Structure 1
Amino acid sequence: MIALSHFNLLAEDAARALLQPCVAIPAWTQALAAGRPYADLSALHHAARELTQTWGRAELEQALSAHPRIGEKPTGAQRHAALSRQEQASVNADDVALAQALKAANARYEARFGRVFLIRAKGRSGEEILQALAQRLTLSDAEETARALGELRDITLLRLEGTIGQ
């Protein structure tokens, strides 16, 4: 984590690179970096939230390129992979029945909606995630797109809070 005062002084490309693991939407990263300097964390978070409000289906698809399936924690040293591993820490990979249920539900979701299931996993158990996945399979395409975008906003803003501090 870096201090906001340091973030405000970074070169443009370094600021964008720091923000990139928050979400794989370059326009958001670029706009948030270009908005510097921010007077305080509240101003940064307000700007970040406002920028997420324009996201639609195209941004969702773009962002999903960096998100693993729930229950399939990514390997690798990239910052976004490390964040995904941390966020899914409460999903017990040793629970074989849960892992199989998540895999099957993920397959049903992908067959129904044509994309990876996205949920803010941080703070949720594997069982809670599985229940949410089952409930979301009952939604219309438009309802599920709106729900997934809400989850993407939550994930992005949580990651930003863990990236830039006082």
Structure 2
Amino acid sequence: MEATVPEPVSVSTPTSAHSSGLARFNTWPRDLAETSLLECCGSRRWAHRLAAHRPYPDVETLLAASDEAGYDLAPADIAEAIAAESAPCLHHDAPRAAHLALRAAHAAYESRFGHVFVICLDGLRPSQHVDQVLAAIRTRLTHDPDEERSLTAEEMRRLARGRIIELVTEAGRTPDPFPPVAYGPR
């Protein structure tokens, strides 16, 4: 069974959480922005570049910058990002057989390619995750290392996009960690 690749998360209709979250993200101190971006993609070069190019006028521009920075990563930067990832896992109440199958598939993948299996599951229901991951690992185990490295980098870019959307949405829902300080007469 050929693994299908879900479409990237759409952000064509910005929500107020996106807008206010992006506005907050744009004003965060650089180190906070970089640390937050490292949660989206584990490459320090990628996070530094995105933080340095703020402010972004809209989420679409931020996502385009993320993609561009992702395409520009050197192999060492991609390896750094992959090393920060953890393998997709199942909910604790999934059947034991599913956990065993997934653990064996991950081990086979890591043995062949030397790093965790990376896949973006955005847009899929949790009940579809195990089938999608197992099918994708089976397919991708047949790839040569260069083909797999390219596909893994693409999955990393897709993961980063979804995580950036979560980052700016969450920033729009929570109190600003650095509220403006008003200095007035005493």
- TM bin (shorter chain): 0.7 to 0.9
Aligned to 1:164, the other structure's residue is in SS state helix
Cross-structure match for 2:110: 110
The 1-side partners of 2:33 and 2:88 are apart by 29
The 1-side partners of 2:102 and 2:112 are apart by 15
The 1-side partners of 2:113 and 2:74 are apart by 15
**Which deviates further from its counterpart, 132-141 or 121-130?**
121-130
Matched residue pairs, number?
147
Matched, 1:147 2:151: yes
Pair 1:69–1:45, CA change in 2 (3 A)? closer
Letter in 2 for 1:103: R
Aligned to 1:3, the other structure's residue is in SS state helix
Cross-structure match for 1:138: 142
Letter in 1 for 2:119: I
Matches within 5 A, 1:117-128: 117-122=117-122, 123=124, 124-128=128-132
Superposition TM-score, scaled by structure 2 size: 0.73
Letter in 1 for 2:154: G
The 1-side partners of 2:42 and 2:154 are apart by 15
Identical pairs, percent: 31
**Contact (CA 8 Å) 2:45, 2:77: kept in 1 or not?**
no
| Matching residue within 43, 52, 57 for 1:25 | 43
The 2-side partners of 1:143 and 1:92 are apart by 30
Aligned to 1:109, the other structure's residue is in SS state helix
Aligned to 2:39, the other structure's residue is in SS state helix
Q: Which runs of 5+ in 2 are unaligned?
A: 1-16, 173-186
TM-superposed CA distance for 1:108, in Å, is: 1.1
Matched, 1:3 2:21: yes
The 2-side partners of 1:69 and 1:36 are apart by 31
Cross-structure match for 1:43: 61
Superposition TM-score, scaled by structure 1 size: 0.81
The 2-side partners of 1:34 and 1:119 are apart by 27
Letter in 2 for 1:10: W
Highest RCO, 1 vs 2 (Cα 8 Å, sep ≥ 6): 2
The 1-side partners of 2:54 and 2:28 are apart by 9
The 1-side partners of 2:74 and 2:52 are apart by 21
TM-superposed CA distance for 1:147, in Å, is: 0.8
Q: Which has the larger radius of gyration?
A: 2
Letter in 2 for 1:114: G
**Contact (CA 8 Å) 1:98, 1:127: kept in 2 or not?**
no
Letter in 1 for 2:26: N
RMSD of Structure 2 on Structure 1 (CA) = 1.8
Q: Which runs of 5+ in 1 are unaligned?
A: 72-90
